[in-house]
Chain A
Amino acid sequence: MRRAVPLAAVVLVLVLPWLTASQFTLHLAITVLLWTVLGVAWNLLGGYGGQVSFGHATFFGVGAYTTLILYLKLGLAPWYGMAVGGAVGALVSLPIGLVCFRLRGPYFSLATLAVAEILRLVALNWEGLTNGPVGLLITALPPVRIASRPIDWESKTPFYYMVAGLALAAMLAAYGLARSRLGAYLLAVREDEDTAEAVGIDTVRAKVVTLALSAFLAAVAGGFYGLYFRYVDPDAVFPIALSVEMVFIAVVGGLATVAGPAVGAVFLVTISELFRERFLVGHLIFYGLFMMLAIRYLPEGIWGGVRRLVSGHAPS
């Protein structure tokens, strides 16, 4: 059971493009997987460390812009750009972490929110670099051959496998973190920061390192977003809503669990995208609604609840 579920999930993800011919389904799957990466990234810091960031759009946006700017200005292929974008995101997170982690609880959340808004305004106004509100557009992706067959960038399948790989890597990183020394430090920080410090844990260091890791993943996801949609603008990659959606996916799915954000993404993104297909606006109604229901009735999230039902005791 413990092995069967993740294995079945991975197999399903791998074969999905063969099961459906619908471009919408594939697009939905790509969106779900992208949000999985973001939920997992946020969960590293927010779930395991208890540091509720309302500003993770910062890193998503930095990653997206880095990837597109490097490609458009220097001709660096976007898949390398995504990696560089991740590194830049992690780098940017260091000063942000050192400043914001001086604050605790809700004050930390508000500070991160302000950081993301500052970054959005910078992206909006630094026209030389970002093209301002007009945004950046990729007209064509560089040709790539795998096993001497050219990849068709007009199809969604290559993007699907790219983001599936990212989601898998992010979840493995979360799995590793949860079982590492750093993971133990984070839990200690979450439960009682003063006590954690008293027993000799360098709490600021633990938080800053985790934020960097989380920022790296969010920034790579941002790079993928830029590559997939071939377009970024400040309101698309730095909005408050984006930061908030990451939080909701992780909380509704299950805080501090490896699979929680994936479950949350499948659940929330599917519902809201189906709603958006039909009604165009207001698709975040469900994010708000399920967030409120989860906090009230299921604080361990959907996945946490499922695990409790299956195993008969609280998830570890």
Chain B
Amino acid sequence: MPVEDFRPGRVSAWILAASAALTVTGASDALGLEFQGEGRGTPVTAAYPSPTAIAAATSFLDSRAGQTSFAVVDSVGRLRGLRMREHFRTASVVKVMMLVAYLRMLDTRHRGLRRSDTSLLYPMIHISDNNAASAVLAAVGGAAVARVAQEAGMEDYAPGVGWWAYTQTSAADQARFLFALPRLIPPRFYGYARYLMSSIEPSQSWGFPPVARPRWQVFFKTGQLPEEGLFNEVGRLERPGVTITIAVLTTGDPSMSYGRATIEGVAANLLARTP
């Protein structure tokens, strides 16, 4: 952990009672425009989901057919799950990575969102349009998606051979990626990305949303390759003061309804208790 000198005289806002406003003068010495205050609150020290909930989800997933894995970044930032590093094809969950790469491309070009952009991004996420995804990937290039993976700390990423839906990933990588979204997406586009990921059409809103809503804000993406029995879902769930991310990856499911039920079951076990 880096250590920095601390000269309180330059660090602005010492001492702030909870619920009180404070006017701050100046910036700190070493780091950008940095301001400091003091707050009070009641910490919720236990991680969410609890170890019991993780164990229940693990037990449930172990009882399901096919190849399965899940990963959670819990409310204190720890990564937990089952068979978290096993490799799966992403199917359409990779579209979130494409979305991030595209928004970063716009930011690099100092461009806002135009109709030509939203006409690709919206259908790619909202209805999981594959043609739109191919166009987005063509626009950003595979290297841009790889950079997103690298910056998110994804260790199991490998580009798809023959088709972007065959991108290699793991539950751990996807949970990490979703947790890192706020720092990966340029701030001016973050609201748009959240809008896209929280307003996916009902027919694609299986898995996490029916289990978590309305207790949680759910930002998610599903993916499926039915011919392989592959059903995936990645999501970022938020409540005031609590953020978790979940990735459930499955393949070899006997049916579509079975795969979806597997994902909903994992979510139901993880979210059984509201924090």
The answer to whether A and B interact is no
Residues of A within 8 A of B (CB): none
